[in-house]
Every structure is written in structure tokens, then in C-alpha cells.
Structure 1
Amino acid sequence: MSIKIEEQRVLQILQDLVRIPSVNPNLDGGVPERKIADYVEAFFARLGLASERREVRPDRPNVIGILPGVLNDVPGLLLEAHMDTVQITNMTIDPFSAELRDGKLYGRGACDTKASIAAMLVAMEWFVTNDIKPHVPVFMAATVDEEVNFLGVLDVLEAGHRFAAAIVGEPTELQAVVAHKGVVRCEIETIGVSAHSSKPEEGVNAISGMMKVVHHIDRTMNDRLRDVTHPLVGQATLNVTEITGGVAPNTIPERCRIKIDRRTIPGEDSDQVWRDIQAEMALFAATDEQLNLIVHPPFVLDYAMDTSPDSEIVRLVTAKAGEKIGEVRTHGVPYGTDASKLTHVGIPSVVFGPGSIDQAHTKDEWVELKQVVLAAEIIVETMLAFGK
């Protein structure tokens, strides 16, 4: 069954979504996701579908719409996409105008990932409008906080629903992503002794100590990762991404901090990687009597994703997409998504959606409208076939 979705309807919904600011509140100029959640909740209400509103944080609710299936006592299909966007700093276009120009819809979040939300909403609407039920229940979750701490998708897992599989909306150019990296982010702090800079011998310079730590990370620890690779996502990586230290130009610094970003690959356990970093730093500090350091607990710890290409959801999405755009192959990406939290608890998931990651977070973010339409059609056809 080949589905055709009306382009103007997709455009209307996508423009509505882009015109609602939802910058993650942890980022510059942040706006809680409440208003866009209101829009999604009202959308489900107009369709006559039950929905759940779950306050993940104040003014930051998830909304889960429920489309009944022919069978309702079986695990359902989850459609998940995040409502938050990154900051609008230095954008060269009006971030919320949702202007359509030469077939491209411009605005913050247009690509990442309100296009996926629009495609999923249109898919849910198609079933109600045509009075057709999918074989199994379908849950659509519009979630908060993917851009920072993944709190939204974690809350979906606490809602008590049973999911047989999931489609996670992200800009993949309608390709099927089955693997991606995880991440461990933490702070390392060196502690010295302050002194007047005219008498440095009376102090212990925390920045000098940190220089040793950074050198050890860049040389020794990174060298060990060269052979830690995965065929779909590439090499595990470790980077120093921020550094702060010192209080005045004439004072030997007592403290210095760095933030590190360790990207894990499928097959690595992010919890174990964190423990290994702790152990490595303890051993390194023991080699230098003046080096006193603390490895603080992770402020982000996420898992790598790896879904079997033979799982039903992957086979269906690749087949349905292939019928629309030609050959679709499963592949991996280096960035992370909400999908890893689902696969970590045993829910086979595929990352799929319109738009290119190359346009995400950019100064003139855009998505090709025709891809959003195709995404909606592919999702509808997948929903029709899943579970039979």
C-alpha cells in the first residue's frame, strides 16, 4: 500500500512547530518546552486520541499520544522525537519565521528535529482521518531535553507502557541509523597551593599540574584508543573540551578544572569506561607527589546504540524508505540520540527522519519540505506493517 501525504498539511504543521520557541533551558536564551508541548497535546485532543502529559521538570512536559491498534494487549510501536532545540545565538535568519524558500523550510529546529515531530504527527493524523487502525498500538512521545541530559526519553521509560520497537526521529536524510556512539563527560580538577606569583616556590601551581594531566590524556590515553573501533561508528575518542583555572594574574592558582568528552562505541560499557578513567587518573597522580587531583562524577553518561539490522523495525523502515527513495542502507553515526536509552533496556530502535545532520544547529538551519512529506509516508507504511 503506497501512501500519499498532502504537502500543504505537512507544511502547516511544521511551520506551527518552528514558530514556537523551545530552546533547551540549559542553553543561552533557553525557553521551556511547555508551549510546544501544549501544541502537541492539543493536536492529539483534536484527533480524539488519548494522551499523557508528564511534567519532567517545571514547564518541561513530555506528551505521549496513544493510537489504539487492532490488538491492544501487546507491546506497541513507539515514535519518539525531541521538542527542544539548541540556542539561536549568531543565526543569520529569523529563527522562528519558518519561511519556505525554494522548497526549504528555514528556522531553528526545522531540521533538528521538528521535521520529525511534524512527520510523526501527520502519520498519527492519517490513521484517524482514514479510520484505519495499525495492527499494534502506536505511542508518539514528544520529549524534552535531548540536547543536554536526555531527561525526556528517560521519563518515557518510566511511564509504564510496553514497547516492542521504536523509531527515533533525527535528521538522517531518510536513511536508517542502527548504531551510534555513547558519551561520558566529567570534570577533572587539580588542587594546588596558592601563593604570591613573585614567590612561586611557596605554592603548588594547579594549572601546571593540569598541563601534565592534559598531556597524559592527549598522548597516553588517546594512543590506547586508536585500535578501539567499530565498523559503523568508527573510533572511540577522548577530548579535553573546556578548561578554567586561576583567580588573578599575580596569584599562583590553587585550582584548575577541565571537562572531558569520552565517546564510547558499541561493545564498550559507559559505566565501566567512567570507572576506568577514575582508576587511570588515580594511578597517574600517584607518580607525582605534587599532583593532587579529583575526578568528579559524570555530568553526562550515555550508552552507545547498536540495533540488529535483522530486527523487524529496521527491516520495515529500510524497505519502506527504499520503495520511496531507492536503496537504503543501515549505517552508523558518531553523535548520540535518545535511541540509546531505549536500546539499553532492550527496545530495538532505529534512528530515522528527514533532513541532514549537516544542517542541524547551523546559522541558517533548514530542512527540505519534500523529505518531511516522504518521512511521513514512510512512517505511515511502517506503522501499517509493524507487528503483523
Structure 2
Amino acid sequence: MNPRDLLADLVAIDSVNPDLVPGGNGESAVVDFCTGWFAANGFETRRLEERPGRPSVVATARGTGGGSSLMLNGHVDTVGLAGYDGDPLKPEVRDGKMFGRGTFDMKGGIAAMMVAAARAKQHPLRGDIIVACVADEEHGSTGTAEVLKHFRADAAIVTEPSHLEVTLAHKGFVWFEVTVEGRAAHGSRPDLGIDAITKAGHFLVALEELGHRLATGPQHPLLGGGTVHASMITGGEEASTYPARCRITLERRTVPGETPDSTTKELTDILDHLTRTVPDFRYRLHRGLARDPFEADPDARIVRTLVDSLGEPPVVRAEPFWTDCALLDQAGIPCLLFGVDGAGAHAATEYVDLASLDRLTDVLTRTTTRFCG
């Protein structure tokens, strides 16, 4: 039972997220493969497919009863293949690394948790081992959301890549759309027109000032401060017309203690101030997708068990990006993130360090055996 061989099989299966790349293959083929592998290794399996063509699979090894259950969670979807340097679906090993799309993000973690669960189930365990290979983490995380409608566990480990460092926090995000309203008129009639784009400039300056306040204000000990940036801007029709509106899409990255409601109020206060102080300034604010930040309790049993299983002092870190840990935490499941070393997530060259893959598999095996035993 070798995680390297299993990883090579997983990488060779196209599982590009079609929400990111229209026409992408999706997760059906890789979930079919995982389901067969779990069945061959004595797991109960359940396929979840609330969204047709976007399945997840949950495999369970039942304990004898009276013990703690542990969920190992990872996503089987990948980003696109276009622009990859070489054949993204032909795993290649050189210099102790395996190259290919998804090796690092995150089929390495998938292979490690599958093999670790199979090894751990050979021991007499009282608690259940639950392995969730989920869809759609790269876009909307509908896979883990669906899993949590049907499964619970006493704790969880998400095997996103973490360079074998114990990751106990990550940022959340909120997307907003601000539409600054002007009035269309011929370019020769400034008495009739209101330039929405120049009015929007006042907001962009205020947004930059907000970013500075976040950078210099109170800081989270692992994550630092929240951030904000303007992602896209559109406005205007033609050179000779006053623009009737200017639309700005922005992202606010959040740290523990910041919420979608608090960040909405933060922006509303800025925009209301501009309405009072800038002549003819009018706006509409729409809040889009929001994901909460995550912070684990360092004294949680699952954290202590994994740290003990490392056999050496851990490096504790946080991530600036969002993961499914936040959904598990919101569901009341204590969790942390721990995964392979490597590089190239979403990049033209991607690889996993194979020694770290073996190390991850060993640590997950010990952690699962101890936690469920």
C-alpha cells in the first residue's frame, strides 16, 4: 500500500473543476476510482451527488464502539490544465519530486489520507475512521458542505498542503460589488451629466486608506491584519458620454473576529461618509460570497494528538487563503490543517516532495490510530 503509486494514479485522472474551467472534466472519474479503491480495502462507501456530475465520496471504517471518530478531508478537484509546462496528467518523478497537476494541491494529501486510513483500520479501533474525498473546493466548496449534511465526526484533519507544518488558522473573505451612480449625458453637456467614474475615484482613495488602517491596526498573532483590494472595475460606454455608472468589485480578506456583517458596516460607513461630503455621490452596495476565517484551539485533542504523533517540536503556522477547515469548524468539528511539502499550486509547474508524502502518511496513520483507538 504505497501512497506514491496511489498518487500517480490520482494525478493521471482529469478532475478539473468545471466551475473554474467551462467544460472541465469534474470529479466523477476520480470519485469512481476512489470508491473502487476504498471498496477493495474494506471500507463502506457512500457517494454524494447533490449536484449532478459533481460527486464526493465518503468512506468509513467502523470501530468497535465507544471511541472517538475522525474525519480525514481533502478535495479531489483541480484547477485547469491549460498553460501547464509539460503533460499535466502524466506524473513524472525526478530528484525526489513528483510533478503533475494536483500533486501538491491536493492529490498528495488525498493519497496520504487514503493510505493512512487503510493502514490505521488494521488496528483494533473503537472509533470510526471517516475519509471524505470532496468536490469543488477550488470554487464553492459544495462538496464539504454536502458531506456535512450527512456526516459528523469528533474531529477532522484537512490535508491541504502545509509543508508538514501544523496550520491552526486561516483567513476568510467577503466579496462586494459597489456601484457608483452618475447621470448619462453628452460629453458637451457638463450641466446635465454626472461622471460616475470620477465619483468612484473618491471611493477608491477611501479604499486605499482602509487598507492602510487594516495594515497598521490590531494584528492577529498568526495571520496579521485583514486586507482589502479592488479586483475589477467597469464603467462608461464611449468617449463622448458621461458614464452613468461605475462598478467596482472588491475583496475583503478577514481574520478571526471580523465577520461579513462587520465588514459590510465598515464599507457602508465609508460610502455614507462620501454621500455626505462629495456632491452628487450616490451608490449601491451588494455583498456576494462570504466565507468565515478559521482558528483552531491549540489545546484541542486532535491538535495535541497530531503534534504528539510528529515526534518533534511542530512548526505552527497560518494560511492567508481559505480552506474547508472553516466549514468543519462551523459545524462544531474541531479540526486543523496538515499536509505535504512541495510547490506550484495553480502554477505552470507543480510538484510534491515525495519524502514529505511518506512522512504525512506516517503521521496521519499514527494520529488516526491514537485518536480512534
Q: Shorter-normalised TM-score: what interval?
A: over 0.9
Moved over 6 A (4+): none
1:185–1:315 CA distance, 2 compared to 1 (3 A): same
* Letter in structure 1 aligned against 2:95: D
TM-score, normalised relative to structure 2: 0.93
Name the stretch that deviates more: 283-292 or 330-339: 283-292
Following superposition, the deviation at residue 221 of structure 1 comes to: 5.6
Question: What is the DSSP-based 3-state SS (H/G/I as helix, E as strand, rest coil) of the residue aligned with 2:233?
Answer: strand
Alignment of 1:103-252 (within 5 A): 103-127=96-120, 131-159=122-150, 161-220=151-210, 222-224=212-214, 226-252=216-242
In the alignment, the residues of structure 2 paired with residue 66 and residue 273 of structure 1 have an alpha-carbon distance, to the nearest angstrom, of 40
The equivalent residue for 2:13 is 20
Offset at 1:200?
4.3
Residue 305 of structure 1 corresponds to which residue in structure 2? 294
Q: Partner of 2:324 in structure 1?
A: 338
Q: Report which stretch shifted further, 171-180 or 50-59.
A: 50-59
Q: Percent identity?
A: 33
2:29 paired with 1:35: yes
Task: Work out which of the residue numbers 63, 70, 73 in structure 2 matches 1:69.
Answer: 63
Range moving further from structure 2, 223-232 or 105-114? 223-232
**Deviation, structure 1 residue 123:** 1.3
Q: Secondary structure at the match of 2:173?
A: strand
Match of 1:366 in 2: 351
Contact 1:22/1:83 (8 A) holds in 2: yes
Alignment partners' CA distance in 1, 2:186 and 2:89: 52
- CA spacing shift, 1:222–1:15, aligned 2, 3 Å: same
> Deviations along 1:32-82, whole A, 9 cap, x unmatched?
2111111111111212311111114221011111111132x6651110001
- How do residues 278-293 of structure 1 correspond to structure 2 at under 5 angstroms? 278-293=268-283
How many pairs were matched up? 372
Q: CA deviation at 1:189?
A: 1.3
Say if 2:1 is the partner of 1:11: no
Question: Unmatched 5+ residue regions in structure 1?
Answer: 1-5
Q: Secondary structure at the match of 2:138?
A: coil
1:241 CA displacement:
1.5
Residues 298-323 of structure 1: CA deviation (Å, up to 9, x unaligned): 2x2111111111111111212222x2
1:386 corresponding residue in structure 2: 371
Alpha-carbon deviation of 1:124?
2.2
1:156-189 CA-to-partner distances (Å, cap 9, x unmatched) read 2111x23111100111111110111111112111
- Structure 1: which amino acid aligns with 2:322? G
- The CA distance in 1 between the partners of 2:210 and 2:223, in whole Å, is 22
In the TM superposition, 1:47-62 aligns within 5 A as 47-62=41-56
SS at match of 1:374: helix
Q: Provide the alpha-carbon RMSD of the alignment.
A: 2.0
Quote how far apart the aligned CAs of 1:85 are: 1.6
Structure 1 266/42 Cα, relative in aligned 2: closer, same or farther at 3 Å?
A: same
Unaligned runs of 5+ in 2: none
Amino acid at match of 1:376: T
Indicate conservation of the 8 Å contact 1:10/1:122, yes or no: yes
Moved more, 276-285 or 326-335: 276-285
Q: TM-score of the superposition, structure 1-length normalised?
A: 0.90
1:135 and 1:385 in contact (8 A); partners too: no
CA displacement at 1:154 relative to structure 2:
1.5
**Map of 2:38 onto structure 1:** 44
Distance 1:47 1:263, change over 3 A: same
Secondary structure (helix, strand or coil) at the match of 1:297 reads: strand
Corresponding position of 2:71: 78
